[in-house]
Structure 1
Amino acid sequence: MKNLAFLILFMSPLFLTSCDDDDDSNESTQDIIALAQANGFTSLAAALTQVDLVSTLQGDGPFTVFAPTDAAFADLLSAVGQTSIADVPDDVLTKILLYHVVSGEVASSAVTTGNATTVEGSDIALDVSANGITVNGANVVDPFDAVASNGIIHTIDAVLVPASIAQFVNTVLEPAYFNKNFSTLIEAVVKADAVNTLLNTPNLTIFAPSNDAFTASGVVVADTGAEALLDVLTYHVITSKVMSSGIPASAATLNGGSIYFSLVTSGNFINGDVEITNVDIESGSGVVHVIDKVLLPADETIVGKAVSLSENGEFTSLVAALTRTADEGTADQNLITVLSGTGPFTVFAPTDAAFTALLESNSEWSTLADIPLVTLIDVLKYHVVSGRVYDKDLAGALDANNGVATVEGSSLTFNLTDLTINSTVNITGVNTNTTNGVIHVIDAVLVP
């Protein structure tokens, strides 16, 4: 457990007595900000500047500020796995800072044991004993009773954190919650109402997309419904702790789907395209790995995806060819049924232009209906490889002759340098993920 004084106590009410306004010794020409800077609270001053609270604490007040030392801020950063105050999201830092401020000017001699409500909105617990004053267990240390023109400052030896934020400390969500580069992920988790699930489920592995990853994937949290966000977010979670050294070929996710890993010399990838960019960030009982795109769960089979894509006019010929095998072929020849099955399969899908070129290559073929059914079936099966083979996996799938066997029985020969098949067919699009395999796009029809 991380040693952090995050105690939320419920005690008797605190009665505070303001300092005597008539005491000239308490007068100061410096406001709280200037006084903090003059007394060496550099981290506090930097934090206040970062979140634009300087003008607030330069106001009339009066305020009582419990000011953490620079060492206290360093301890906080260490506890939440960050290296700089600038790394902490502004909204989180704002709540933390306002949790150190109480309205009114309260000298140490006027403090009694009990609770006081902060400007942040929740209570801090003060305790007065023979050994001194503590705030949520943090010690009030010298200098204290530093009087400003608009309030008073007491030094404390730990950063105070409200319960709403402390709940994330030492959990699997901590690395993202306290890092501004993952604020979109936390926004999505909150909107999807997934906070409690992720905080209270032990031994999780989270593949965490950065803010840039959300942008790259075109996922806008504000425009996405809570239910859809929950489905996407839980697709990033494995319900066991998996370190980078133990990443398997595939893993079941919290949403009931599966993700697939390609661990190759060029990097470590999920579902072909999503790269794991940082690994093994342990927190609580879980671990976080950072990824460069958002993982989107597949919800269609290979056939379903081809049909969806054909609505944009790209694979209408492929869908028509598959449909013909279902309409005219035997049960064994029905490739709609086969490619809708468990699989997994890898399909190299020719575009409509590729099928047009195939028809033009034979004077007897004006339409797909002119191609003998058996020939058409063999051609289609020649585009199908057993197994889920993303582009990153091709090198490991090749035999000694750079070939991969198809379900038709012949082999495809690959040149991975220029991404061609059988010397002349170009792979123009890769890694369309489906529930039962993967689709790659090619610019010509392969003929066995």
Structure 2
Amino acid sequence: MVIKKFKSIAALGLLLSLSLLTSCSDDDDPVVVIDNPKDIIELASATPSLSILVDAVVKADLVDALKMNGPYTVFAPNNDAFAALLDSNDDWSTLNDIPTETLATVLKFHVLTSKVTSADLSDTYVKTLATGPNDENLSLQVETTGGVEFNGDSKPITVDVEASNGVVHIIDKVMLPPSLVTLALNNSGLTSLVAALTDTRHTTDFVSVLNGDGPFTVFAPTNAAFQSLLDSNDSWSSLGDIPIETLDSVLRFHVLSGANVQSAGLSDTYVNTLATGPNDESLSLQIETTGGVEFNGDSKPVIVDIQGSNGVVHVIDKVMLPANIVTLALNNSGFTSLVAALTDDRHTTDFVAVLNGDGPFTVFAPTNAAFQALLDSNDDWNGLGDVPIATLDAVLKYHVVNGANVQADQLSDNQEITMLSEGMVTVDLTDGAKLETSSGQSVVISVTDVQGTNGVIHAVNNVLLP
């Protein structure tokens, strides 16, 4: 597998222009401005409106961390912000009622490990000191278009307070690390996704699911992506026109459960999604990184690694439709010879139409290298067009099982499988997974369980000969 890290692409917004060291209200406590800047802790301690923040930092044992060289950017909630936080939870009367671990995570979510002044702000996501399921840095949303907000609803009171080891921006609300649902709700570019997830016709409560512990990886189509989906079908003028079973399956196909896959962890592979196939098998989503990142054959990333407390979001430019076995083969550059063989215009059998059917099918798919080995075995065959069509037809039918979705864990040693050609193969599991023919040919199953909506594909390293 080739692993490539790709950078987050965020649209730059209107730069924030706020006066330095000014207060938005005459009632706010003045910020102490000093000729020789103190560190962040000393500065906060000298500011009366930040006294609860200082107490919280002490309780969470973060004093030493914030006295280091940095530079840091601290979004500092004032005393009123902390009072509102305590009022929001019946179990919290004072800071001592907040679990220390929770408090530490919340405070770290207010700290960036770089210096960001008000002039540097844009519509983007920034990494905080707080961490997620596998120690990934949690993302803080910054919005500047139409007014400055952090994390969806926290606003600046005073900005650009210089400290010796960074800069402080005083804010009006304590920011809680967001779940995946909150990240989507706070992003104006994902309103269509939110509408799809909260469609009242669903029997699945997607909001509850995605508010769970996870971790999850969510591929989030933009509003424009959903509009393109609607435009692709004359019967769909709005999300409400999409059959709910279809919408449910599509949404599940954009979610990986039990995994927090950041962009650095992507590779040329298939991953299991929450969507399911003929017998509740997890549908496979293809990820390609070689030559550029694509999901499901043609969906590309817009923004990656938006990290929440229970998973990560990658924003994509196209709604991904669950793939059947024909689409899976078409999207895989390792099966171009198989596709060419299936679509050979000499056939009397329309293999594409057959394999686009309801199925279920199990396809043992020879790789490009396997087809090349077949051509090399006969001096008269320089290309697939040289293979007699009757032979090619029989060969292809010898790789398809009709009426069964047989995943790898359903194979057993010495199991006999009847192919579409009515020929038989025998499963050999003594040393890996192999298929054997009555003539003694043995082929290795090299990749298993590429699951489509109407069947499953297993790649094999040689072409089976009837």
* Greater Cα radius of gyration, structure 1 or 2: 1
Q: Which one has more relative contact order, counting CA pairs under 8 Å at least 6 apart?
A: 2
Q: TM-score, normalised by structure 1?
A: 0.48
Q: TM-score, normalised by structure 2?
A: 0.46
